[in-house]
Amino acid sequence: MQVYRAVDEAGDLNVYVSGAIIDEGVFEKHVGEDLERIIRDRGHYESERISYNSIKIMVDGVFEGETGAVLEPYHTTGHLGVLNHAPDQLEQRVTQYYDLGLQLHFHTMGDRATRAALDALEYARERGDPALLQTRHALSHLGLINPAEYPRFKAQNAAAAFTAEWASPDEWTINLEVPTLGQRRVDDLYPIRSINEAGGVVVGSSDWNYGELDPLISIETAVTRQDPFAPSELKAATHEAVDLETMIAAYTINGAWLMHRENDTGSIETGKLADVIVIDRNLFEIEAEEINEAKVDTTIFEGRVVHRRQ
């Protein structure tokens, strides 16, 4: 938090930062009274470009270690993964943060975790200040989502932050996730199209540094449902592929919406900040398999050129 503030004060911050304070339980940076202090004093580190009005809660783990919480048992072990907080405890924690006006940011990989997060968010919204109903929240990764949850994202004002790069049928998916989850569930991984069609707001997520930061890689993967660097005959969840417009929105206006900045940025309109990238080719006029090869020639941030490709 101190570093981002220092960079901004030096005039060198060329992004908008919506930082999430890590909740206690997994990967926490602060605990107990120290966490309370950070939440209380977060405004000291904020600016026009920086916000820390978000809390990140690790609801479950990941499929790799079978710690992602699932509704149906893993095929290899028969267990259901791990919820880091019991549902009633999660409801209480989420309500506590919700009442402070914080944006909830959930790590959810399995469908049981997604349900638990949405249940906790719904619990808090039903009991909290009606003035806070417009606060936007986010669930990140979303490897599996039960179809019953598709419309709940819109109902709970929560964005679906997909890590689309992971949606390719690469060797990792075939060799690890098919044996543990089974082909049927692998065919439903990262249901971007289903959430979009249910009216949910889809935003782009990289999970850097555990994934590539470049949005063009995730955009291509979501459109083709193939590994951009090693396409193959393998297929996984091809029915969840989306069009280019959907993914560009995920990385522009929808991201701005999640940050409560859609009136300032996220699209090229009169009266908005001049936040623009210029790409070396028209993404709508090339093959989808070439999207990740595109290069950003120029980046303009608040009207200032902050990057030129040599």
% of the chain exceeding 90 in pLDDT? 87
59-272 homologous superfamily: Metal-dependent hydrolases (3.20.20.140)
DSSP character at residue 124: H
How far apart are alpha carbons 2 and 201 in whole angstroms?
31
Alpha-carbon distance of 116 to 59, in angstroms, equals 8
Which strands sit side by side in the sheet containing 296-301, from one edge to the other? Answer: 276-279, 296-301, 304-308
Q: What percent of the chain has pLDDT over 70?
A: 100
Q: How many beta carbons lie within 10 A of that of residue 257, not counting itself? A: 17
pLDDT at res. 122: 98
- Return contacts of 69-73, CB within 8 angstroms, 24+ apart: 69/109, 69/110, 69/111, 69/112, 69/113, 69/116, 70/110, 70/111, 70/112, 70/144, 70/181, 71/110, 71/111, 71/112, 71/115, 71/146, 72/185
The predicted model scores a pTM of: 0.95
User: Which pLDDT score is estimated for 253?
Assistant: 98
- 69 to each of 61, 66, 233, how far by Cα in Å? 7, 8, 30
For 175-184, write each residue's pLDDT tens digit. Answer: 888 899 998 9
Domain boundaries, given as residue ranges, for the chain: 1-51, 59-272
Q: Which of 189, 198, 197, 252 is nearest to 222 (CA)?
A: 189
Stretch 212-229: mean pLDDT: 94
